[in-house]
Amino acid sequence: MHRCVAFEAVSRSSDWHNNAHPSEKRILADDFEGPSPHNANLAGKGIVGLGAYAKLLAMKGDAEGSARYFGVARDYALKWMKFASDPVGSPHHYKLQYAT
């Protein structure tokens, strides 16, 4: 089977996102107010990335891996919606930093 270096890099990145934990010292390019350990925007991007990786695995023919990563992305998305929800704003408004 043909080895795809780019796919291996995406695999490592997806594993990292799946196992990453918030850091109190995490600095982002859009942190205008300092560290943002529970950044809802970054978490959302990671969730979308895991879902996209699940699609790539499906295209590669790895149904088991695809189902596993899609399930992780779905579970994280449901948690994200709960943790980042802003009860003061509209039903579709989310906070910059989510609560855990």
Higher pLDDT, 46 or 93: 46
- Number of structural domains, the chain? 1
Residue 80: give the domain boundaries.
1-11+38-100
Contacts of 46 (CB under 8 A, 6+ apart): 17, 20, 76
| Residue 90: inside a domain | yes
- pTM value surpassing 0.75: no
| Residue 26: inside a domain | no
For residue 31, give Cα distances in angstroms to 21, 26, 34, 36, 68: 18, 9, 5, 7, 32
- Residue among 79, 66, 70 at smallest CA distance from 40: 79
Statement: residue 91 has pLDDT above 70: no
Statement: residue 74 has pLDDT above 90: yes
Confidence bin at 1 (pLDDT 50/70/90) = very low
| Residue 64: inside a domain | yes
| Residue 30: inside a domain | no
- What's the mean per-residue pLDDT of the chain? 76
| Residue 77: inside a domain | yes
